[in-house]
Amino acid sequence: MTSDHQNGETQICDLVENAEAVPDDSGKPRLFVESAAPDRTVAALRDILVGAGGLFDRGVPVRLARDQIQHGVVAQILTPDVLVLLVHRVCRPYALKEKKDGSIVEVDVRLPRAFAVMYLDWRGEWRLPPLNGIASAPLLQEDGTILSAEGYDPASGMWRERVPDLRHLVAEHPSRSDAETSLRLIRHTFRTFCFADACLVTEDGIAVVDIGRPPGKDESAFLVALLTAVCRPSLHHAPGILFRAAPLSGAGAGKGLLARCIAMIAFGREPHAVTGGIKAEELEKRITAELIEGSPVLFLDNLNNTAFRSDLLASAITERPARVRVLGRSQMVPLNPSALIVLTGNGLTVSEDLARRFITIELDPKTEDPEARRFSNDIRLEVTRDRTRLLAAALTIWRWGRLGQDLPSGRPLGSFETWCQWVRDPLLALDCMDPVARIAEAKAQDGRRLNTAELFTTWWERHQDRPIALRDLDDSVRQLIDPHGRGRQFVAAQLGKLVGTRLAGLVLTRAAAAGKWGSATFAMEKAPGHDNGRNQDDPQPGGPKALHHLYSSATGEKDDRGGANDAGIMSNSENAGSPERHRGHRGHRAQEWSAPDENPWSPCSSDVGGVGAIPPYADAVRDDHGGHRGGIGSVEAAPATVGQSQDCANPADAACPEGPMPPMPPMPSGTRDETDDEPFEGWSMRL
């Protein structure tokens, strides 16, 4: 018993000796809490918080907190309870109390929660520095300067952490040779990824990208995506990145892995994935929470078999500031988004309003079981180990582009002019392909656009450019507008939404009623300046045979490297029979496409995937001569799986046979049928 008592005394003595001293609060500023004068108390609280530092304005007051799971700093929204705790860490609230003898003394008090609520609601008076984002990549300037400092940067509003010092790795004035060497290093590191249109060679029994050839469309889009991520903290606007694969056999293709590798190089940490949720409203809440948190990447993963649409995400990509709704409040606040937006999914498409805001990367492992492929290295570990070297390679290309003269310009892309100059154009100068050229293909996959194009072409077929009253509409046109027979007012409302829309070479116009008892008329007119890609007048502009193929380009102005291209859109046979509906797509007319002499989509052909080429997932298959035949119902054997030797070149070159067949198209997430309420809303988003 005595022994136990002595052990207890010893433990108490040890605890007392090792205990930390109670912090001295005498040096903290004092906050006078006046219940009768909350305005003075809240103003004094504001001044103390401004002087203490560590708080920022991100539409709402936030503090920087270290997230141990994400291994980085995130912005945490201040709640009243968190603010009370924070106030007591930076100051000593007190009140005046009258003693029994009538004297007045100061007594320490807890800050009432009501004062914290008043402060948080005092928008516009916080006087906190704006926080536009958190980055672990160097900040870049127009003249090629690379800033690698830590902490808050007032000029950009960015908080920087763990930014590597690359001054000894990036030349002050890189030459073209330096840029080419850097590009080759990046391509060599990622050569095992299955870019859909890449030319492959065998290396140690594994099919890898042939980096001796210029990058194809998908590898070029990846290189653009990587440089976009590196430059994103320094750009006001940048397009998002979309990784997708085939609907059924695309799982395990490496979409998420490639996105994580890009984030590791640019930001030094992998992003955390956010799923879409069941309802669109739930997704909007998740996007808002991620944007306010300020993480460098907003990563929406596994949006499978989805026709994705988000007005909030569209605004976050192209608006600065964008307005978002604070969770739990009916309050909209301004926010300067700086996150790289990344989407991944099998069979994923985006609506037309998002199509111009995303760079698309197709992956095709050319096997039914992509997860069973073998690789000789762990790309995650390799990228983590070589992060500094790969980041320096990307910045070498960027600086070479900023200091270079007369670099070629690709296709213009509204809202992203600086991005084009900083990111896209230097890679074009290094023989990469222009990912902007694929935007027309993405637009062509939008269900609403397809439905409206069908309406316009059917209208032109039945009525030409004659003014038509609603009562005189042909039944086939009326059926496309109002499949449920809801009546004339519904038809008028739907057509009113489409007045002024230009699609398939046509534009819908409306003439007001003449007189008190007259009727308004609608007319379909030829859109001025539209030549359907054939550079000649069409006797039936935008007619039923001019309806664009689902995956064809919408213009024939430039090729994928930004140069001129007269290929235009592959038109239907002018001698095709009357339109007929094909199975599986109600309301889409069968297309009879003229077959080229060689497969124009082959990345190693003489015209690499030029405008007018049938892209991946096209509704056609190749014949023995490299042309395209028959779309619906045609089947051919699957190509050899990745891991076997596959050469890919111009079919005319006997030394390099034609490459594998592109994968089939991802199906939309829904179809428009007799149960739809809005015939022009396209396919519904299912998450």
Residue showing tokens 């018993």: 1
Six token digits for residue 160: 């920087």
The pLDDT value recorded for residue 555 is 34
Q: Mark 480-503 as b/e (b = at least 16 C-beta within 10 Å).
A: bbbbeeeeeeebeebbeebeebeb
As a whole number of Å, the end-to-end CA separation of the chain is: 68
Lowest mean pLDDT among 230-239, 273-282, 506-515, 632-641: 632-641
Highest mean pLDDT among 326-330, 396-400, 437-441: 396-400
pLDDT, tens digit, 9 for 90 and up, residues 404-457: 878 888 999 999 999 999 999 999 999 999 999 888 777 766 677 778 888 888
Q: Using CA atoms, how far apart are residues 264 and 258, in angstroms rounded to an integer?
A: 10
The pLDDT value recorded for residue 496 is 86
Q: Using CA atoms, how far apart are residues 315 and 357, in angstroms rounded to an integer?
A: 10
Say which residue, 641 or 470, is predicted with more confidence: 470
Using a pLDDT cut of 90, give the percent of the chain over it. Answer: 43
Class of the domain covering 174-441: alpha beta
Q: Using CA atoms, how far apart are residues 78 and 90, in angstroms rounded to an integer?
A: 15
Residues 6+ apart with CB under 8 A from 603: 197, 198, 199, 216, 217, 609, 648, 659
Six token digits for residue 289: 């929470």
Residue showing tokens 């309301």: 587
Bridge partners, 350 (sequence order) = 308
Lowest mean pLDDT among 291-300, 306-315, 397-406, 630-639: 630-639
CA distances to 391, 449, 468, 481, 488 from 484, rounded to whole Å, are 57, 20, 21, 9, 12
Sheet holding 297-300, edge to edge: 273-274, 297-300, 340-346, 240-245, 358-362
Mean pLDDT across 249-259: 93
Six token digits for residue 77: 């929204």
Looking at the predicted structure, is the pLDDT value of residue 245 above 70? yes
pLDDT, tens digit, 9 for 90 and up, residues 644-666: 444 444 433 433 434 444 444 44
Average pLDDT, the chain: 77
User: In 363-423, where do the E strands start and end?
Assistant: none
3-state secondary structure 121-175: CCCCCCCCCECCEEECCCEECCCCCEECCCEEECCCCEEECCCCCCCCCCCCCCC
In which residue ranges of the chain is CATH 3.40.50.300 found? 174-441
